[in-house]
C-alpha cells in the first residue's frame, strides 16, 4: 500500500519556475496571498530565460501609441491593441523594480540599459525577490496533474518530490500555470523541462488552447550545441566544399529557414561570421555568454572560423500558441485556473507572428503579474479530501501493457513536429500523415502504465504532454487553410481575409478545432 501524499495548503499555487512564474508569485504575494511555487527544475536556473539574454518590449509611455501601431501592422489581424497597451504599461512599471538585486548595464548616455537583461542574473534576482516576499519555492517538485472539486473548479495540483520520491498534494484557492511552452525535446537550450505539461493539464481540466498552428520557429545554432540566434544575423552560409549558399536574410522569416532546411537535408551547412559588425563580439559576450562558451570549449573563434550549424525547433516557445486566455485576468475559463507566459497564447500581443524575445518577455512579465493578482483575488478552493485528480495519459493506463522506454516515442514526436521536410513545407497530405502517426503514438502512450520510479513517471507524463501538444499543433495547422504569419502552408500560400480569426483546439482522445474571434470588450486598467 502506497504512503499518503504530503499535503500542503496555499492561497495561490504557481506551477513553473521561469520568468512568468516568478512575476505571478510576486504579484500574488503583494496582494496578501500565501504562495507556493513548484518547479520541475530549480526556479532561477530552469527554462529558456535563464540560458539567454532576453530583451523586453520596454517602451516609454509617450511612445506606446507608436509601438502599438507598429506591432498591430505586423500581427496579421489577430492581435488586440488594448492588450498591447496593458503589457507595455506593466513592463515599463515593473521591470525596473528588479534593480536592487540586478545590476543593470549602462545605456551609453549616463543612464541604465533596462530593456535587455542577462538571463542568469535576471532569474537569480527574481528568485531572490520571491524568497524575500515569503514565497515557498519547491524545486524539483514537478506537478503531474491538477485537482478539481465536485463542480470542476481547480483546487490545486498533485506531483512528485524527485529527491525523495514522495508524492505531494497542494490544495490552493487558485492555481497559475506558468510551465512554459513545448519544444518537443529538440535540444533547444533551456527547454528540456518544457514539454507542454501545463497545456495537457489545462486541457484535462476543460480549458481550450489557441494559436497552436503558429508553432514553426527555429533557433540556428552550432550543430553540436543549441545556443542563441543573435550572432547569425550577420552570417553567410556555405557547403563543405566551399560553395556559398543563397540564403535570404533572417528578416525573410520562413524563407530563410526553408533555404537552410533544404540545404541541411542535403548535407552539412557551415556558417561564416567574418563580416559581422565590429561591436557584435562584445555585445554577444555581455548579453548571451552561453553562446560564446559553446565555441570556446571547442577552441573555435566564431568570428574567424567557419563552423557547422543546424536548426533547433522552438515549438510553441518562440511561436505563439498556448492555453486560451478568455478574460482580462488571464483566466482559462475553468474556475480557479489561470495561465501566464509561454504556457498561455500570445496572440493578443503577437497575433500570427512569433513573439520573438522582446514581446514574449514583456508578455511573460505582464501576464504573470495579471494572473498572480487575479489568483490572489479568487482564493476559492475546498477542504482537503474533497478533490479529484484529473490526470490521464502518462499517469493512468487505458490498457495493461508493460512499461517501455519513452525516448523512442519522444524522438518520433519531435520528428513529426520539427523534421525539416515536414515542418518547413506543411501541406494537407503531410499534415494528415503526421496526424495519423501522432495519434498512434498517443494511443501507445495511453496504453502503458507509468513506471514506479519517480523520474520515470515524470518522463512518461512529459511524453504524453509532448504527444498531446503535437496533435493539437497539427490539427490547428490543418484547419488553418491559408498562410498567415508563421503558420505557412506550401499548398495554400495566400492569406485569406475571411480567415482572420483565431482557432481554438482541444480534445484528448481526438483533437477538435473551432473558430473563435478576439474578445471585443474593453480591458480593465492595468494592475
Q: Which residue has the cell 493539437?
A: 472
Segment 102-117, tens digit of pLDDT = 999 887 888 898 998 9
Give the closest residue to 15 by CA, choosing from 375, 273, 334, 292.
Answer: 375
Distance of CA 190 to the CA centre of its chain: 11
| Exposure string over 418-440, b if 16+ CB within 10 A, otherwise e | bebebbbebeeebbeebbebbbe
Report the CATH number of the 6-215+316-389 domain: 3.50.50.60
Q: Measure the CA–CA gap between 331 and 175, rounded to whole angstroms.
A: 10
Q: Where are the domains of the chain?
A: 6-215+316-389, 220-313, 407-496
22: DSSP letter: H
Residue 3 CB-density burial (10 A; 0-12 exposed, 13-18 middle, 19+ buried): exposed
Distance of CA 487 to the CA centre of its chain: 17
Mean pLDDT of the region 253-276:
94
Percent of the chain with pLDDT over 70: 94
pLDDT at 291: 80
Segment 283-333, tens digit of pLDDT = 777 777 778 888 899 999 989 999 999 999 999 998 999 999 999 999 999
C-alpha distances (whole Å) from 274 to each of 260, 329, 371, 487 are 19, 48, 45, 33
Q: Measure the CA–CA gap between 493 and 488, rounded to whole angstroms.
A: 7
pLDDT at 520: 37
pLDDT at 519: 44
Mean pLDDT of the region 133-142:
98
Mean pLDDT of the region 150-176:
95
Confidence class for position 190, pLDDT limits 50, 70, 90? confident
Is-contact 153 349, C-beta < 8 A?
no
pLDDT of residue 450 exceeding 80, the answer is no
pLDDT of residue 14 exceeding 60, the answer is yes
In this structure, which topology does domain 220-313 adopt according to CATH? Flavocytochrome C3; Chain A, domain 1 (3.90.700)
Rg, Å, the chain Cα set: 22
Segment 195-222, tens digit of pLDDT = 999 999 999 999 999 999 999 989 898 9
Q: Give the count of beta carbons closer than 10 Å to the beta carbon of residue 395.
A: 18
pLDDT of residue 128 exceeding 80, the answer is yes
Cell output for 17: 519556475
Q: Measure the CA–CA gap between 131 and 111, rounded to whole angstroms.
A: 29
pLDDT of residue 146 exceeding 70, the answer is yes
| Exposure string over 35-74, b if 16+ CB within 10 A, otherwise e | bbbbbbbbbbbbbbbbbbbbbbbbbeeeebeebbeebbee
> How many CA atoms lie less than 13 Å away from 151 in the CB half-sphere?
8
pLDDT at 1: 42
pLDDT at 107: 79
pLDDT at 56: 93
C-alpha distances (whole Å) from 457 to each of 199, 395, 442, 462 are 18, 7, 16, 9
Q: Measure the CA–CA gap between 311 and 220, rounded to whole angstroms.
A: 5
The helix (H) or strand (E) run that includes residue 226 is: none
Q: Measure the CA–CA gap between 313 and 319, rounded to whole angstroms.
A: 10
Report helix, strand or coil for 453: coil
Mean pLDDT of the region 442-468:
89
Mean pLDDT of the region 453-480:
95
pLDDT at 401: 67
Distance of CA 518 to the CA centre of its chain: 21
pLDDT at 402: 65
pLDDT at 527: 47
Q: Measure the CA–CA gap between 47 and 179, rounded to whole angstroms.
A: 9
Confidence class for position 228, pLDDT limits 50, 70, 90? low
The rounded mean pLDDT for the chain is 91
pLDDT of residue 525 exceeding 70, the answer is no
pLDDT at 526: 42
Pairing of strands 105-106, 35-38: unpaired
Domain 407-496 has CATH 3.40.50.1240: no
Mean pLDDT of the region 441-470:
90
Is-contact 368 206, C-beta < 8 A?
no
Segment 407-420, tens digit of pLDDT = 999 999 999 999 99
Confidence class for position 523, pLDDT limits 50, 70, 90? very low
Segment 55-94, tens digit of pLDDT = 899 999 999 999 999 999 999 999 999 999 999 999 999 9
Question: Fold identical between 6-215+316-389 and 407-496?
Answer: no
Amino acid at each position: 500500500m502506497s504512503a499518503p501524499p504530503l499535503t500542503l495548503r496555499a492561497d495561490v499555487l504557481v506551477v513553473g519556475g521561469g520568468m512568468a512564474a516568478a512575476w505571478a508569485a510576486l504579484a500574488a504575494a503583494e496582494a496578501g496571498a500565501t504562495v507556493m511555487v513548484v518547479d520541475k527544475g530549480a526556479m532561477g536556473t530552469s527554462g529558456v530565460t535563464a540560458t539567454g539574454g532576453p530583451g523586453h518590449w520596454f517602451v516609454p509611455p509617450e511612445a506606446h501609441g507608436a509601438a502599438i501601431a507598429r506591432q498591430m501592422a505586423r500581427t496579421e489581424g489577430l492581435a488586440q491593441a488594448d492588450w498591447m497597451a496593458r503589457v507595455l504599461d506593466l513592463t515599463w512599471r515593473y521591470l525596473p523594480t528588479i534593480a536592487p538585486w540586478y545590476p543593470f548595464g549602462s545605456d551609453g548616455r549616463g543612464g541604465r540599459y533596462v530593456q535587455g537583461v542577462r538571463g542568469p542574473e535576471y532569474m537569480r534576482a527574481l528568485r531572490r525577490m520571491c524568497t524575500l516576499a515569503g514565497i515557498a519555492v519547491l524545486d524539483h517538485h514537478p506537478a503531474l496533474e491538477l485537482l478539481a472539486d465536485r463542480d470542476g473548479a481547480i483546487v490545486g495540483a498533485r506531483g512528485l518530490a524527485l529527491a525523495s520520491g514522495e508524492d505531494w498534494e497542494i490544495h490552493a484557492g487558485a492555481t497559475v500555470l506558468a510551465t512554459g511552452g513545448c519544444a518537443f525535446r529538440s535540444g533547444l537550450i533551456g527547454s528540456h523541462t518544457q514539454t507542454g505539461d501545463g497545456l495537457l493539464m489545462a486541457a484535462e481540466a476543460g480549458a481550450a488552447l489557441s494559436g497552436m498552428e503558429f508553432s514553426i520557429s527555429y533557433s540556428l545554432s552550432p550543430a553540436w550545441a543549441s545556443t542563441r540566434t543573435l550572432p547569425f544575423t550577420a552570417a553567410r552560409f556555405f557547403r563543405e566544399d566551399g560553395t556559398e549558399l543563397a540564403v535570404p536574410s533572417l528578416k525573410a522569416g520562413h524563407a530563410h529557414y526553408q533555404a537552410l532546411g533544404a540545404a541541411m537535408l542535403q548535407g552539412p551547412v557551415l556558417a561564416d561570421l567574418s563580416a559581422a559588425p565590429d561591436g557584435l563580439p562584445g555585445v554577444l559576450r555581455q548579453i548571451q555568454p552561453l553562446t560564446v562558451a559553446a565555441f570556446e570549449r571547442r577552441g573555435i573563434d566564431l568570428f574567424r572560423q567557419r563552423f557547422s550549424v543546424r536548426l533547433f525547433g522552438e515549438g510553441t516557445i518562440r511561436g505563439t500558441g498556448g492555453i486560451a486566455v478568455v478574460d482580462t485576468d488571464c483566466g482559462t475559463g475553468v474556475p480557479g485556473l489561470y495561465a501566464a507566459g509561454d504556457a498561455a497564447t500570445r496572440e493578443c500581443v503577437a497575433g500570427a507572428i512569433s513573439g520573438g524575445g522582446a514581446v514574449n518577455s514583456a508578455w511573460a512579465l505582464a501576464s504573470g503579474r495579471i494572473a498572480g493578482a487575479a489568483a490572489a483575488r479568487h482564493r476559492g478552493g475546498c477542504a482537503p479530501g474533497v478533490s479529484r485528480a484529473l490526470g490521464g495519459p502518462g499517469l493512468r493506463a487505458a490498457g495493461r501493457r508493460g512499461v517501455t522506454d519513452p525516448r523512442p516515442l519522444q524522438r518520433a514526436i519531435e520528428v513529426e513536429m520539427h523534421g525539416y521536410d515536414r515542418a518547413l513545407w506543411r501541406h494537407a497530405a503531410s499534415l494528415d500523415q503526421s496526424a495519423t502517426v501522432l495519434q498512434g503514438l498517443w494511443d501507445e502512450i495511453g496504453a502503458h502504465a507509468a513506471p514506479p520510479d519517480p523520474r520515470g513517471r515524470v518522463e512518461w507524463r512529459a511524453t504524453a504532454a509532448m504527444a498531446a501538444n503535437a496533435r493539437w499543433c497539427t490539427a490547428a495547422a490543418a484547419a488553418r487553410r491559408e498562410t498567415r504569419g508563421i503558420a505557412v502552408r506550401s499548398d495554400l500560400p495566400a492569406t485569406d481575409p475571411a480567415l482572420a480569426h483565431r482557432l481554438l483546439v482541444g480534445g484528448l482522445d481526438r483533437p477538435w478545432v473551432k473558430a473563435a474571434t478576439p474578445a471585443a470588450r474593453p480591458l480593465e486598467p492595468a494592475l
